[in-house]
Structure 1
């Protein structure tokens, strides 16, 4: 990572291949989840050669993957802010909100516009027809960052709208986060507040018992996961441990993440809602270890950068496009499922539809990034940024 340029108020961020890989795995699990709800792997031919538990894990960890995204987002937003302004107490509110808006709003506006046209055209899978819901209500909830609450009150929206629940949580957190940082200027007090929020995740999940949708999509559990990522960034900035410690933290994180993904039913018996805390803390450990391995500014005893894993470039690419893929992948899912049904819906060969579906999700995400989100982001930064350097920063 480049050193902060505090005079210019800007810094160009280098990408961390390990974190991109984790983001790629997370968005892949989201895509596989939405495919698996419609074309389950456990009933196909793969069940003859692969463990059922593995197939179930591939299909039904989309929700958990979103919480990994929350942790990564908290880590990256915080570490980039520290690199840019030196401390969270020095955050430039205008620049912070400009960066978030320039990154989030173009894709959000495009998605809502396309979904509105599909709804008005009466296209199957895109019509909002549940009692108490309307196109205007869904659009207001999407732009007003309360689509999660809207669904909790009225029920699930069609799939391409439904993905916006997590964006509502994340952006509400980031509306308040810099304000809290400016008010609580003591880093230790801020860390204690964040620790309390991060550890409260099981409590908030357990407290919601009468609304399954709201239990999944409430603000505070998601914000607790983001807080774990923020804490990880503060720890990464504060300490530069030796290689053995970095390896240990990374191994703990990887083991915890794998166990929650593969052994959720067994862990649930002992941990209940605490299993999600294990997931977020494990993700935080893994992310901070990846950061330490990529950051060798201080000591020759620091661990060497993690070598690239052969054949994983496609997954890192998905990580770089994760936002665009997340917002657009349901268009591909609906199209592929429609084609699958038209071809006879053979459950035994259903797994064959996964590879083209994942490739098409990547391709659509790349097109959106290349021709819409990144050009719009650059234009907004050039138009509203205080310094030309702001427009040149990496996404």
Structure 2
């Protein structure tokens, strides 16, 4: 029964986290983007790693006959099509900046320089940009830094599943502890972000091992799960909005516990998250995460052009950060909503025409020809 289970509340969390990260990068003066929750939402990227480890372990962790080729194709065509599409978008945007510079427009940084240098294109295309200090993890489409880490972490996970059937849990724990040890041992080759991503992902794998060992709660115990869910959300909110030493380290076990609690999908908060609206955001989460930087770039650029036309500073730089500011709290909140809505609309397009197309191609490549009917879409995504 558990092998066929889909975690609806966790899917919804994925969408909410993607929206929160988008609002973290959007700065509109005096609007809801400045709430403490969104000003600290960068920590939610850690949740993605933990959740991915949990879900992939659910899908593949108990496999006796694991097909690495099929896994490789599935994960590659899950992540790479949209990543390459957005890399192409950013290259086109940089070409636009180059054209504008030739027409006499001034920019803080010259086109195709710094994190947009041509030398960064190939590492991005191969999703290598976040692993070592040889490249800029935030080059071109900056949210893709985490996709770089996640993709190769998937492959490490798959190798473990291939070669260590009886001791997988122990190896996951070893990899997690090794990553943590390298983080604090003065490692100079791998980036801290890559080691952190490894530790978080395999925390998710271990969280699933814990989940499997817990009894399924009865209907009479729904009140207990509801209490645990409310407590988990409360603790998570307090954790997120506060800064303290070791926060990134504590995020790993905390998010692991939260994922286990909500995996049962039985409490009151889970029922709320099972709503179609939250599920819709969960479905679009990958597109929201990877497209929002380009949308924000276009919006900010439009404000900067309008600023020169109207002679009013509607895109001020405050403490080194570019804000949008129409001089009115109501208008600023409206702008923030419109920008967020625009990201969702763009994500609907990329989900349908880029993500789904890529996944369909991946299924066609990984499955032998069949005359018995259409290939069914896998029910578990990560």
TM bucket normalised to smaller: 0.7 to 0.9
The number of residue pairs the alignment matches comes to 345
Structure 1 stretches of 4+ with a deviation exceeding 6 A read none
Q: Cα distance, 1:182 vs. partner?
A: 2.3
SS in 1 for 2:97: coil
Question: Which secondary structure state, in structure 1, belongs to the residue aligned with residue 112 of structure 2?
Answer: coil
Q: Name the counterpart of 1:19.
A: 10
- Corresponding residue of 1:371: 353
Q: Assess if the C-alpha contact under 8 Å between 1:148 and 1:165 holds in 2.
A: yes
1:88·1:178 contact (CA, 8 Å) conserved in 2? no
Equivalence map 1:12-161=2 (5 Å):
15-36=6-27, 39=28, 41=29, 44=30, 55-62=35-42, 64-82=43-61, 87-122=62-97, 127-130=111-114, 134-135=117-118, 137-149=119-131, 152-153=133-134, 155=136, 157-158=138-139, 160-161=140-141
In 2, the alpha carbon distance for the partners of 1:357 and 1:94 equals 40
Sort the Cα spacing of 1:247 and 1:190 in 2 relative to 1 into closer, same or farther, 3 A.
farther
Quote the Cα distance in structure 2 between the aligned partners of 1:88 and 1:156: 33
Backbone CA RMSD of aligned residues: 3.4
- Distance in 1, Cα, partners of 2:249 & 2:228: 16
For normalisation by structure 1, the TM-score amounts to: 0.75
Whole-Å Cα distance in 1 between the matches of residues 75 and 131 of structure 2? 22
Describe the shift of the 1:378–1:46 C-alpha distance in structure 2 as closer, same or farther (beyond 3 A). closer
1:357 aligns with 2:339: yes
TM-score, length-scaled by structure 2 = 0.78
- CA–CA distance in structure 1, aligned partners of residues 366 and 165 of structure 2: 27
- 1:280 pairs, out of 240, 252, 269, with 252
- The unaligned stretches of length 5 or more in structure 1 are 5-12, 48-53, 295-302
Specify the SS of the correspondent of 1:280.
helix
Structure 1 equivalent of residue 293 of structure 2: 330
In structure 2, C-alpha distance between the alignment counterparts of 1:101 and 1:330, rounded to whole Å? 22
Distance between the aligned counterparts of 2:117 and 2:258, measured in 1? 41
Distance 1:209 1:98 in 2: 32
The alpha-carbon deviation at position 118 of structure 1 amounts to 2.7
Bigger relative CO (Cα 8 Å, ≥ 6 apart): 2
